[in-house]
A = this chain, B = another copy of it.
Amino acid sequence: MSPRVVLATRNAHKVVEVRRILSESGLDIDLVGLDAFPDAPDVAETGLTFEENALLKARTIAAATGLAAIADDSGLTVDVLGGMPGIFSARWAGQHGDDAANLRLVLAQIADIADVDRGAAFVCAAAVARPGADEHVVRGELRGRLTREPRGTNGFGYDPIFVPDAETRTTAEMEPHEKDAISHRGVAFRALAQHLGASLP
């Protein structure tokens, strides 16, 4: 039986994406989201970096479930916004998880900014923690630039307004496997899969 690993998120989109990336890495695990653990604590993301928050979530959920836990803290960093929304990406418009409001707000904030100054990056910190074992955290980044209007329906979060370098499509217009091949989350979780594969039973 494949070892069970918890992904410390209640975001169903994220579970699908991470499961796809890890499975294509050849990692044989049974990955479940927090929906399978209704009593798991909500983790306040009090860290000041993606890495701190990813470790905080993995560590807390590993302790609460007794299982190996992996966690992702990721976001959009906009150059002209001083690296924000950054760790606040999921709650940028004030309420957690309102993707449409979050991306509309970023576009409104930088409406006057010229195309040449609309550089941005997707960043992902991926962490693994196991009760009584070492923790690991790795980072993936994808550089690109912001559009002026949302385009595409794949993916989630800020995908509809982000065009990777050397691309003309937003990540929401790319096929999932194309996005995974270059994405911040793809890079981070493929690196994490090495740590995970080496240490599971």
Query: Interface size of A by Cβ–Cβ distance < 8 Å?
Result: 26
Residue of B nearest to A93 (CB): B105
Q: How far is the CB of A145 from chain B (nearest CB, A)?
A: 15
- Which of A46, A48, A81, A86 is the most central at the interface, judged by chain B CB atoms within 10 Å of its CB? A81
A17 to B194, CA, bound (A): 60
* Chain A contacts with B in 116-159, Cβ cutoff 8 A: 117
Chain B residues positioned under 8 Å from A46 (CB to CB): 112-114
Interface of A is mostly: loop
Report the bound CA distance from A84 to B109 in whole Å. 11
**Nearest residue in B to A83 (C-beta to C-beta)?**
B82
Q: Is the CB of B93 within 8 A of A86?
A: no
Interface residues of A (CB under 8 A from B): 44-46, 48, 80-84, 86, 88, 91-95, 104-105, 108-114, 117
7 example contacts (A-B, Cβ-Cβ < 8 A) are as follows A46-B113, A48-B113, A81-B82, A81-B88, A82-B83, A82-B86, A94-B109
